[in-house]
């Protein structure tokens, strides 16, 4: 079998790329190692930048997001009980869309199914081959049978643990990494959110975040030990810990209930350079990870595939390699700015085990600067709502 592009991974990066290529008349096959239900069972990001919203609409998958998503015009930071709201509209004339990654994925799957796009779920041993030449191929096993697809381009959209980045010879790739000494314990609950907008909380006991998925479903996080076992956290323990970190008004308004999902995510900053190896292109978490504090992970996946799809359009339509030759540079320039923002927000808001009174006072100074300076607040708002694509 032959196709133009083999996309490895059916997360948001792979599915959105497939949709963008389809709209340019470029044929692609998606190979995903998990089942559709497994992919939809992962609870991850919740905030879309303005540019990601535009990209989903342009890809023809934004209808339900526009109807059911919540447009937010600001966020709050709470520092040891003192709260400050950042008004995105007033600061940068932008907003974000609160709409879960699960729903984005569901909409992209439905859009692909509607035109009969070819996806193979539960594909095992997916292996990208010969991408240093002009005739790459990908082999995989499905239902006990080995298959091979010849193609022009391989798009590695298979996340941090995927096979694409690992297929590149070590000498050809540089890795940059910072692992943080804590994780986030997240709970999803069918109760109305405690506040109309997100609240990022810095407290001596650790970071917390009040987020949401809809008017009746909330998502909360507390900073925990990186090695923490989720089994040690009953719902009661989670709610008690969250309440301790919130300011008294917010704590009093918190509606709790049985969790419908509870999981721990490690926090890491990671970038692989470059993002292109011959005919293999990395996009999304396959190439980079940000700690979730800036809500940038999913949004970077969207900007990567927006660049890649434009570059592949030039490649197939105009036989020009200018776009694909510039892809890695262009994507990494944006990635590193999001890495910087996510690292900065993580550093400002979390309790670091080795921190002294000196670091804590620097964190407080940072918060007071943001709360008191329009210029500083604009930098936060510009980054949070999304830098230009
Ligand atoms: P994904 O979503 O990981 O999708 C990759 C897909 O590739 C498949 N795959 C393979 N398929 C075939 N063969 C192989 N060998 C394969 N190996 C893997 C996987 O099954 C999967 O379906 O990457 P993508 O598309 O780049 O999207 C990126 C986003 O998912 C990610 O940046 C965010 O979700 C990050 N992230 C969060 N971001 C936020 O902005 N806010 C959050 O609250 C937030 N929480 C999270 C997160 C990421 C997490 N991970 C990766 C563990 C919470 C978690 C737990
Ligand atoms: C979420 O709702 O899951 C969420 C929101 C904002 C973040 C991280 C996670 O920064």
Residue 285 Cα to ligand 1 middle (Å): 6
Residue 170 Cα to ligand 1 middle (Å): 23
DSSP E strand stretches across the chain: 5-8, 28-31, 47-48, 70-72, 74-79, 82-87, 96-98, 118-120, 124-129, 137-142, 145-150, 153-156, 174-189, 199-202, 208-212, 218-224, 259-273, 276-277, 280-282, 288-289
Name residues contacting ligand 2 (CB within 6 A): 45-47, 198, 211, 219, 292-293, 295
Task: Evaluate whether 220 touches 251 at the Cβ level (below 8 Å).
Answer: no
Domain boundaries, the chain: 5-47+58-68+100-177+268-346
What long-range pairs does 163-167 form, CB within 8 A, spacing at least 24? Answer: 163/8, 163/126, 163/127, 163/128, 164/8, 164/9, 164/128, 164/280, 164/282, 164/286, 165/272, 165/282, 165/286, 165/287, 167/127, 167/128, 167/131, 167/280
Residue pLDDT tens, the chain, 389 long: 999 999 999 999 999 999 999 999 999 999 999 999 999 999 888 999 999 999 999 999 999 999 999 999 999 999 998 999 999 999 999 999 999 999 999 999 999 999 999 999 999 999 999 999 999 999 999 999 999 999 999 999 999 999 999 999 999 999 999 999 999 999 999 999 999 999 999 999 999 999 999 999 999 999 999 999 999 999 999 999 999 999 999 999 999 999 999 999 999 999 999 999 999 999 999 999 999 999 999 999 999 999 999 999 999 999 999 999 999 999 999 999 999 999 999 999 999 999 999 999 999 999 999 999 999 999 999 999 999 99
Q: Which of 181, 160, 150 is nearest to 297 (CA)?
A: 160
Q: Which of 327, 302, 318, 308 is nearest to 21 (CA)?
A: 308
CA-to-CA distance for 295 and 291, rounded, in angstroms? Answer: 8
Closest C-alpha residue for ligand 2 atom 10? 295
CATH number of 5-47+58-68+100-177+268-346: 3.50.50.60
């Amino acid at each position: 079998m032959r196709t133009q592009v083999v996309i490895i991974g059916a997360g948001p990066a792979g599915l959105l790329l497939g949709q963008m290529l389809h709209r340019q008349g470029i044929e692609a096959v998606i190979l995903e190692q998990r089942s559709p239900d497994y992919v939809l069972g992962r609870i991850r990001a919740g905030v879309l930048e303005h540019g990601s919203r535009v990209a989903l609409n342009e890809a023809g998958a934004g209808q339900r997001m526009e109807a059911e998503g919540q447009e937010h015009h600001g966020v709050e930071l709470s520092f040891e009980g003192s709260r400050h709201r950042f008004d995105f509209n007033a600061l940068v004339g932008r907003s974000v869309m609160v709409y879960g990654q699960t729903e984005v994925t569901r909409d992209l799957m439905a859009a692909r199914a509607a035109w009969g796009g070819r996806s193979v779920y539960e594909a095992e041993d997916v292996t990208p081959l010969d991408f240093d030449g002009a005739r790459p191929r990908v082999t995989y096993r499905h239902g006990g049978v080995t298959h091979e697809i010849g193609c022009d381009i391989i798009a590695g959209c298979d996340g941090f643990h995927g096979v694409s980045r690992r297929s590149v010879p070590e000498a050809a790739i540089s890795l940059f990494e910072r692992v943080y000494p804590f994780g986030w314990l997240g709970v999803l609950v069918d109760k109305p959110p405690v506040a109309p907008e997100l609240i990022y909380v810095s407290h001596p006991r650790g970071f917390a975040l009040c987020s949401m998925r809809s008017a009746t479903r909330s998502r909360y996080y507390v900073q925990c030990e990186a090695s923490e076992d989720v089994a040690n956290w009953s719902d009661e323990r989670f709610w008690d810990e969250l309440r301790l970190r919130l300011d008294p008004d917010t704590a009093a308004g918190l509606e709790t209930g049985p969790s419908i999902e509870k999981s721990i995510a490690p926090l890491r900053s990671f970038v692989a350079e470059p993002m292109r190896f011959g005919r293999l292109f990395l996009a999304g978490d396959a190439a980079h990870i940000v700690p979730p504090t800036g809500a940038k992970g999913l949004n970077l996946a969207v900007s990567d595939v927006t660049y890649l799809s434009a570059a592949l359009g030039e490649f197939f339509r105009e036989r020009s390699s200018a776009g694909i030759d510039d892809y890695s540079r262009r994507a990494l320039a944006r990635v590193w700015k999001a890495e910087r923002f996510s690292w900065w927000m993580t550093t400002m808001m979390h309790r670091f085990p080795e921190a002294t009174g000196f670091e804590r006072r620097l964190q407080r100074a940072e918060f007071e600067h943001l709360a008191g300076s329009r210029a500083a607040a604009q930098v936060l708002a510009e980054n949070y709502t999304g830098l230009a694509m």
